[in-house]
Amino acid sequence: MTEFVLYGGKGGVGKTTLAAATGMRAAREGARTLVVSTDPAHSIADAYESPVEETPTRVVEESPLSAMEIDPRERFERRYGDVFERMLDDVESLGVNLGEAGVESVTEQGLVPGADEIAVVDLFAEYDDHPDWDVVVFDTAPTGHTLRLLELPNVMDSTMGTLLNMREQLRSVTDSITSMLGRDDDEADTSYSEQMDTLQTRMEDVADRLRDGSRTGFRVVTIPEPMAITETERLVDELGSSGITVDHVLANKVLQDPSEDCPTCWPRHQNQQAALDEARGSLEPAVREVPLVPGAEGIDRVETVTEYVDPIV
């Protein structure tokens, strides 16, 4: 049974490094591990200092560790873009008028609302209980994208409802003008139905999976600064309201044992500790510190922080 570990948080807090470290530690403990970046600003390849492709790519030869980077927009277009485009084209060609509000609810500058997030849902579904992997670690996009992913079922309820309405109107029209179009009655409708049903089922399965704390762990990464802590509080609240439990919060890049004689690092250390005190008082999950490692980049940084992350759920 494949376990999921998801890392979320605002941009620039170090999610990728900690996701990479989690994958490395899990693989070293014998788990067949895949680290997946769904963040458009990919950096998994930089973290491992190894080429990473859109399919699982081995990044550490001596352990069962692979990584991949996906482009959510490209994945959506490849797997679902055609069904939305063809449906809208057919409705327009048949003169079915849903009104401007109806069209706007399913198109956003030519794209479906939540297109990137739909692609991520599709990816989760593909690797759910995958026979090749024991652990899949997801390096998710920044907070805003993560929250849109949580809101996706509500967005898609509206979108799916509009599409179904379009499909019903399309069916009523095609029934009367089939001979004019020269195609089978169900040609336009069947493919829409099948792909829409597949997407809807996948969304429901993924929602259940994300809420299953025994098989999915969600870890929020932050840095010890007031604005970052505030955004972290918002993300944890949103996750909780969606039925997703946060395992713990990782406060990254924390100064360790600075000298009081240092005119820059000592005040920074004090500010960080004040922010951490606030986080511990306002956040229900445990807050773990991950130290700042000056000068460590790429694989060296990943190696250094492996001891601060849990390998699996």
Give the distance, in angstroms, between the CA of residue 55 and the centroid of all CA atoms in the same chain: 17
Q: Where are the domains of the chain?
A: 3-71+213-308, 74-115+150-208
Burial environment of residue 261 by CB neighbours within 10 A (0 to 12, 13 to 18, 19 or more):
exposed
Measured on CA atoms in the order 163, 169, 172, 177, is the torsion positive or negative? negative
Q: Is residue 310 predicted with pLDDT exceeding 50?
A: yes
In which band, very low, low, confident or very high, does the pLDDT at 148 lie, cut at 50, 70 and 90? low
Query: What SS3 class is residue 101?
Result: helix
Give the distance, in angstroms, between the CA of residue 159 and the centroid of all CA atoms in the same chain: 20
Decide yes or no: CATH 3.40.50.300 for domain 3-71+213-308: yes
H-run or E-run covering 162: helix 143-181
Average pLDDT of span 180-185: 50
| pLDDT tens column, 201-246 | 777 788 788 888 888 889 999 999 999 999 999 889 888 888 888 9
Cβ pair 144, 11 in contact under 8 A? no
Cβ pair 9, 15 in contact under 8 A? yes
Q: Which residue has the higher pLDDT, 146 or 234?
A: 234
First-residue to last-residue Cα distance in the chain: 12
Q: Which residue has the higher pLDDT, 271 or 170?
A: 271
In which band, very low, low, confident or very high, does the pLDDT at 108 lie, cut at 50, 70 and 90? very low
Cα dist from 68 to 42, 156, 169, 190, 209, whole Å: 10, 27, 41, 34, 21
Q: In sequence order, which residues have a C-beta less than 8 Å from that of residue 66 and are 6 or more positions away? A: 33, 34, 35, 56, 57, 58, 59
Spatial separation of the C-alpha atoms in residues 206 and 190, rounded to whole Å: 24
Spatial separation of the C-alpha atoms in residues 308 and 306, rounded to whole Å: 5
